[in-house]
Amino acid sequence: MESDQWKKLMVAMARLAVFLLVIVGSMIAFLFVLHSNPDLFYSQKEPPQLVQEAFQGDQLIEDGVHVATGFVEGEGLMMVVNNCTNCHSAKLVTQDRFTKEGWIQVIRWMQETQGLWDLGPNEAVIVEYLSNHYAPEDRGRRKQLEVEWYSLEE
């Protein structure tokens, strides 16, 4: 190789070395700053606003109704939300009306045929909630039949 070419090569190598030094140097500087100030880009003290709002939205109750599912407010609500909306819409639950025994039967049926898990000690709370708020008496009361009574003696 001619000396001219050597020179060019050396200059190119030197430039590359400086370039790499600058990159590595700034990375080290960046890590150093980040290390001494961990909250620079992300604060662990407060969850990001969006997550907080989504969480609240999940629990939001308006006019006595759990907004996300339509379940009425009551003791055991979140337990029902967490166990009864995984496979089907909450509507399938809220549109039904059963007695306590009836709800237990529905749960057994789902456990035997639909893969519903054992609800353990939560079952009593869930059944209590369902039979309190989705009891047969509430089901679409129709108007009393109007019967014209007549006397059998006539």
Which residues bind to ligand HEC, rule: CB under 6 A? Answer: 83-84, 86-88, 92-93, 96, 106-107, 110, 114-116, 126, 130
Helical (H) or strand (E) element with 125? helix 122-133
76, two tokens: 């055991």
CB 124 within 8 A of CB 80: no
DSSP bridge partners of 66: 61
Q: How far is the CB of 83 from ligand HEC (least distance, A)?
A: 5
Helix (H) or strand (E) holding 66: strand 65-66
Which is nearer to ligand HEC, 5 or 114 (by Cβ)? 114
Q: How far is the CB of 23 from ligand HEC (least distance, A)?
A: 54
User: Least separation, in Å, of the C-beta of 151 and ligand HEC?
Assistant: 44
